[in-house]
Each structure stands twice: as structure tokens, then as C-alpha cells.
Amino acid sequence: MTDAGRTNTHSPTPVRFRPNAPEPLTHEPNLFELFQPEAARNPLTVIPEVAYELPYRRVRMLHTVWHGINDPDAIKRCLLDNAQNYERPRLIRRAMRSTIGEGLLTAEGESWRTQRRLMAPVFSPHAVEAFIPLFAMLAERSVDRTPGDGGVVDMAAEAARVTLDVIDAALFSGEAGVAVGGAGEQVREMIAGGTAVRLSTLFGLLDFDPGRAQRRARAIRSELLQRLEALIRRRAEAVDPPEDFITRLYTAFAAEHSRAAAIQLTLDNAMTFFVAGQETTANGLAWALYLLSQDHQAQTWAQEEARAAWAEAGDDPTAVLERLPYLKMVWEETLRLYPPAQRIDREALGDDELCGRPIRKGEIVTIWPWVLHRHRTLWDEPDLFNPENFDPEAKAGRHRYQYLPFGAGPRICIGMGFAQAEALIILSRWLAAFRFSPAPERTVEPVAGFTIRAEGGVPLIIERREG
């Protein structure tokens, strides 16, 4: 390993621990098991052990053939080399549209290409850098409101709140009206309710009664849509609107679409970034603190680095990021163990071959980052928390397509740079201010829906550091 990020290179090698994860099944799940409430609530509980050992698995479920691939070369062909032959399955797009509309995440073909082109400048490195002082200010507010008296705090809830602050301030100039008390919980309810429908849809149950949780999700979504649409219409009519994300997005769409179409596209993408942007970053922050709370040495190294970075940066928070090499390793390892999305599905538009097996038109290729990132043939001790997996030497020897926290190929997440800068700024401020320890007799359970979240939150003992 290199010494990147270590403040004290004479410190002992930490004892690695195994973070919480459902135990794999010892057999292939049958249809009855797949339809059990626990499987619908958390698909991670029905992944068999062989999935973590084989490069390829073929499963027929009802009327659909699924090809599970964990071979990096095959993944590269699907997501990059022959990406034009694979699109997100229609059933999944239909379910996702019920929550986030026809934005960048659900669009295909020319609609996707146009949206991606128009939105690229909004997430350029230069544009992201301009947000860093705002990240720093909101991180400082989070530090100020977080008790550090040795009590237990749910840091998943605080992560949701600070990331909503970021979304509301950075993307909507604080006018969306969502960065308030219970808003984070409402967003989680909306996502969780939509996920239950999505899982049923994957099995072809298009007429499934969504139930109380889904009715609640629709109500929250309706209220959020009304707020965002009103904001977008105000921006469309304003003579001199704030030059933020929503204004730039509407202006870009209005240059090539009618006013009504531009408003709808802006609305759909605003919803996309509320769901995909806020929830995934919030979960990553919570998981990072959970992991560091269990590894005293890793937390010490990250804390020393964070305090030094902020001290050296002075009044320029943009100088902090380049001084956080070890914390960046921690963040990347966090996304290995708890990737933002647990699976990537693609429908074959024509016949192909992956892993030496035929793929027929209409069949589904599925890539599970949760499985890929823990695959026995691709990682040493894959179930253990080890930031050294991402030191420069280790990264140089790894296949690009065995680590996919933000996807890959043309459809790699457009907000990846924004999310990483936001996360590192917030994490470094938290670590500089607090010491995090596990809450006694409290477990953290990963549950997979739209994202991989910690069910019941991430309760931690928080102590304010001296000096």
C-alpha cells in the first residue's frame, strides 16, 4: 500500500471488520421465496452464494430470461462497447417514471442524448467547484446543530437533512421549500413507496395494488411536484431569475423546445435530482460514518487528515478536496460496500453474446454492483472494510468495470463529480468536529430499494473533539 492520506505512517495496520450485510443463501431461491414479503422488502436477502463466485448466471423468472454478469469484460461490452444494443428495460422505466418522470435517468434514445448534452455544462468541473463554498457553509451549519455531548444521534437523518439543504440551496436557491424538519423522512417515504411498486413490476405484476405506503408516496410526490412546477414557472416568467441549476436547466431546454416541453423536462429532471441526487449522497454519508465508527484507526487517520486540510486551506474551501486523499479512499470503499444502486438492468434490443453465452433480443442483462463489488474472484477479502482497496497502487491494477458505484459508459451518472465533492466536504467537516462511536445494542441493516439505505437509521454516539 502507498502512504496516501496517512498522517502517521508508523501507525499499526488496523484490524479489518466485516460490515453488516445479509448472509447469502446456500441455494438458488425459488419463485415462492422471491415472492415472500421479506424478499420484496429487501432483495439483498435472496442473493445466493454462487452469485458472488460465478462470472455468469442465467435465470428464467416467469416470462423473462435474466442474464446476471460479473465479468468486467462482458460488463464493458454491455455498458460501453455495444451500449447501443442495450437500454433500460421498459418495465423498469415504467415504474421509475411513476416517481421521477421522463428525466435523464429514465429517458432513452434521442431524448436521452439531447438531455445529456444540454445538462452537461451544469455539472462540469468548473460548475461543481463553484458550489464548494456553499457545501462548506451548509456542512458548518450541520456541525453547529449536531449535539456532541456523548449522546446518540441518528446520522442518517442528519445526512438526509444536510443533503436536502444542499439540493435546495445549490439547485433551487432555497426556493423549493424542502430543506425543513421532516422533509428528509418524506423523501425517504416517497422513494420507499415507489420501490415496492417497482419490485412488483419487475415480476410482471402490472396491476398489483400498491397499498397504503404507495398511496402515501404518491401524495408526497404530488405535493413536491406542485412546489417544483410553481418554482419553474416563476423562473420561466422572471426577467432576471437567479442563475442557479433550475434556471440554467430551463434556459437550456427552452432554447430547443417549446415553453411547455421545457417546463416539463425541467420538472422531470428536478425530480430526478431530488431522488437520485439527494438520497444516494445522504446514504453514502451515513454509511461512511457507520464504517468509520467501527474502525478506530481508519477514523483517526481520516480525522487527522480532515483537520489538517481545513487548517491549511484557510478561507478557501475549494483547496480542501485536494488535501483529502485518505478520506477519498474511505468514500470509494464505502461505495464499494454500499453502492448507491444495487443493480443495473439492460434489455437487449438485438441478439448478442456475453460471457460466451447467447443473449437474445428482449432478454434482460442484469449487473448487481452489490454483488460485483463483493465478488470472490475480483476482490481480496471482499466482505471487509478496507480503504486501501483504493490507494493509487491498488486502483492501477484493477479492471475499470469491476467497480461501478455511478454506472459506466455513456450513461455514467452525470452528477458524480457534484456528489463526490459534496460528500467529501461534509464528511471532512464532521470528522474534524466529532468523534463517532457505535451505539450499544443497535444494529444497522442494509436494505435495497431505489438505493441501499440503512433501515432504522445510523445511530452513533457523537462526541465533540477538543481544539
- What pLDDT, in 10s, does the model give residues 142-199? 999 999 999 999 999 999 999 989 988 888 887 766 554 455 566 666 665 554 544 4
Query: Would the pLDDT of 388 be above 90?
Result: yes
* pLDDT on residue 466: 81
63 SS3 class: coil
Return the CA Rg of the chain: 22
Which CATH number is 31-464 given?
1.10.630.10
Alpha-helical (H) ranges within 295-415 are 296-313, 325-337, 369-372, 392-396
Q: What is the pTM of this model?
A: 0.89
Query: Of 86, 25, 29, 92, whose CA–CA distance to 53 is shortest?
Result: 25
* Residue 80 pLDDT class (50, 70, 90 cuts): very high
Contact 390, 328 (CB under 8 A): yes
Mean predicted confidence (pLDDT) in 212-224: 73
Summary mean pLDDT of the chain: 87
- What pLDDT, in 10s, does the model give residues 300-316? 999 999 999 999 998 89
- What pLDDT, in 10s, does the model give residues 54-69? 999 999 887 889 999 9
* pLDDT on residue 274: 76
Q: Check residue 466 and report its DSSP letter.
A: P
* pLDDT on residue 119: 84
